Amino acid sequence: MASTSVSRVVPASPQKVWDLIGGFDALPDWLPYIPESTPLEGGRVRRLTNPNGEVIVERLVDFNEAERHYSYAILQAPFPVDGYVSTLRVHTVPGRDDLAEVQWSGRFTPDNTTDDEVVALFTGIYRDGLEALHKTLTA
């Protein structure tokens, strides 16, 4: 099993960041790669569409409002992995109430590719996603 994690400090309080990204169906609010999200099964599943029209279906597997994190598993996606589980987490920055650290991590098993290739793929997705979040918060 392979894994990767990317963190980024963003210019907003942890609660403001969580209010933006903490909803399982909120990706289109801050992530340009996902312009469309449709909640299914009472919000426990989301059907995402990327700009190329590819569909990604994910299931919420853990949610903690108080600790500001959630985890999800991919059920269907155009990615060469199996057993994908990812966590999006908002941390406080000690001594600062105007900043938050956002961590996006995942673990997965490559499918017909190498660990290095899928780690690079998801590291790039997470890095670009957190950059988009930073831009959304500073717009």
Q: 0.75 cut: is pTM over it?
A: yes
Q: What is the pLDDT of residues 18-39, one digit of tens each?
A: 999 999 999 999 999 999 999 9
Contact predicate 138/42, CB 8 Å: no
Question: Can you tell me the distance from the alpha carbon of 42 to that of 66, in angstroms, rounded to the nearest whole number?
Answer: 21
Question: Looking at residue 54, what is its pLDDT?
Answer: 95
Q: Which residues contact 102 (CB under 8 A, 6 or more apart)?
A: 7, 8, 9, 10, 17, 21, 88, 89, 90, 91, 130, 133
Query: What's residue 139's pLDDT?
Result: 85
pLDDT for 112 equals 95
Which amino acid type is present at position 98?
D
Q: Extract the residue ranges of the chain whose pLDDT is less than 70.
A: none
CA distance 127 to 37: 20
pLDDT value for 7: 98
Of 137, 128, 106, 112, whose CA–CA distance to 10 is shortest?
137
